[in-house]
Amino acid sequence: MKINFKNIDYLKAGTEKQKEAYEILTKNKILSSLKEFDPVLIGTIPINIDIENSDLDIVCHFTDADYFRKQLKEKFENKNNFKLWENSSQGSLAIVCNFFVDDFEIEIFGQNVPTNQQRGYRHMIIEYKILQEKGHEFRKRIIELKEQGYKTEPAFAYELGLEGDPYEALLELRK
């Protein structure tokens, strides 16, 4: 089954956690308030490998860092435990904000890179395809590894026997 991850309607027919995520995102207008930044929900919840404390990760594309930062403050500063910071660990400036809505932690990650070219989005698409190919037992093993403390990409790399940096190794799989 092919999913259009740019439209979260697929969550309405998903797991309980996916349905809850849909409700939180729509009721609080999280994605619609970020519309001008081409937001995409990524991570473990969209591809059904989430664990109890999984958060809602949203990638965004900005062309003006100051404007993006200002918009994040205006729209979300009033949310529980709001934090805003920057990093450049992936070779370009990233502006990140984190907050809680009900029981969900939400992290918004913006770069001056189109959302479908950002590493987080690309990893999710690759992981989704692998999960489709490998089936239910593989999915269960990934979730078990995550419950043991593995991050998602290292869990995939371990199960697939990939060498080196798991984040790079996954990207190399689909070149």
Domains and CATH numbers, the chain: 8-173 (3.30.460.10)
Contacts of 36 (CB under 8 A, 6+ apart): none
Q: What is the pLDDT of residues 131-150, one digit of tens each?
A: 999 999 999 999 999 999 99
Q: What is the pTM of this model?
A: 0.94
- Quick one: pLDDT band at residue 1, thresholds 50, 70, 90? low
Mean pLDDT, residues 19-25: 96
Kindly provide the residue ranges of all beta strands, DSSP E only, lying in the chain, ordered along the sequence. Answer: 40-42, 56-61, 80-87, 94-101, 104-111
Structure tokens at 81: 């435990």
Q: What is the pLDDT of residues 72-89, one digit of tens each?
A: 999 999 999 999 999 886
Q: What is the pLDDT of residues 40-79, one digit of tens each?
A: 999 999 999 999 989 999 999 999 999 999 999 999 999 9
Which residues does residue 85 pair with via DSSP β-bridges, in sequence order?
A: 96
